[in-house]
Amino acid sequence: MTSSSSLSLDGLDLNQVFFKSISNAHPPSQTNHHAKISVIGVGNVGMAIAQTILTQDLVDELALVDANSDKLRGEMLDLQHAAAFLPRTKIVASVDYTVTAGSDLCIVTAGARQNPGESRLNLLQRNLAMYNSIVPELVKYSPECILLIVSNPVDVLTYVAWKLSGFPVNRVIGSGTNLDSSRFRFLIADHLDVNALDVQAYIVGEHGDSSVALWSSISVGGIPVLSFLEKQQIAFEKDTLEKIHKQVVESAYEVINLKGYTSWAIGYSVANLAFSIIRDQRRIHPVSILAKGFYGINGGDVFLSLPAQLGNGVLGVTIVHLTDEEIQQLRNSAETILEVQNQLGI
């Protein structure tokens, strides 16, 4: 796509300077005028996503799928009864995946719950079995869709969805650290007493304990924070930075301990991603994508979060300059994911 306002310097395409394509990506598919999103799984997370999407006037049709037919019908009716207060959207639901036909975006939130004493690997194997029944059906009825994976562990399951779908890598995305980065921005904003919208900060890597906080790239109001403090000869404690990152990692655990589950923040986060994809916004989001070839990650096909430009799929990865320490932490995070992934045997 060309733009009359595209920036160039003596014929230099700046888009190619700022962004790097992921390997084996296909050109973006054409968007349909009739926008449709399907949400697979109507638990707390799935419904928070569905509700938030409806309030954004984002789609013409929203399809819900779940194995529990009674709960599914109840959730559908509950949303339909709010029609007078929402933008006009057709809401349909079924245990049959035919209802998802023609979707532009399929959001998968379904996943097995961990049983007491169950190993992470056994939980993953059960989720793999579940994905074996979900992903082929979505591909069958919406062969041109984009898959957005939300189920945890999201990085490994995004890889699973990619392998099962046969889709090009730019059409399979994990929600990744988009929410982690929002929590990060909130905590920094709270620490500095500014609006979180004015904070640019990323958590990358695994959506989990090995995530990496990119301190070197934090800016507030366009001002790089750490370099500003150094130039002003203002001392800052690295322990303070680590405490903020630890709070980000532990945030979800705290919410789960208090209310039993997380829902609203992930609902807003995923709806935010859906908006960028459906409306071809070309915004930068830290999401789980195929990271092979970036920052020296070459050990295998691993999905982890990097700042990516989202429109009708993944359009490119932002070339963020990381410190040597951050690069090593990112590679360690990739190895952590690969260790688990390799045990699945796919």
Cite the active site residues. 207
Of 194, 178, 198, 211, the C-alpha closest to 283 is: 178
b or e along 54-85 (b: 16 or more beta carbons within 10 Å of the residue's beta carbon)? bebebbbbbbbbbeeeeebbebbeebeeeeee
267 labeled binding residue: no
User: 160 with 128: CB under 8 angstroms?
Assistant: yes
The angle, 0 to 180 degrees and rounded to 10, between the axes of the packed helices 154-165 and 324-342 is: 60
**CA–CA separation, 224 and 124 (whole Å):** 40
**CA–CA separation, 282 and 309 (whole Å):** 5
**CA–CA separation, 290 and 304 (whole Å):** 7
41 labeled binding residue: yes
42 labeled binding residue: yes
Instruction: Give the angle subtended at the CA of 154 by the CAs of 152 and 157, to the nearest 5°.
Output: 95
**CA–CA separation, 232 and 139 (whole Å):** 55
Judged on CB neighbours under 10 Å (0-12, 13-18, 19+), 92 is middle
43 labeled binding residue: yes
Indicate left, alpha or beta for 221 from its phi (over 0: left) and psi (-120 to 50: alpha): left
User: 93 with 63: CB under 8 angstroms?
Assistant: yes
302 labeled binding residue: no
**CA–CA separation, 277 and 309 (whole Å):** 10
66 labeled binding residue: yes
| Cβ-based neighbour number of residue 134 at 10 Å | 23
127 labeled binding residue: yes
219 labeled binding residue: no
**The two three-digit tokens of residue 251, written as one number:** 């945030």
45 labeled binding residue: yes
User: 335 with 299: CB under 8 angstroms?
Assistant: yes
Binding residues for NAD(+): 41-46, 66, 127, 150-152
Binding residues: 41-46, 66, 127, 150-152
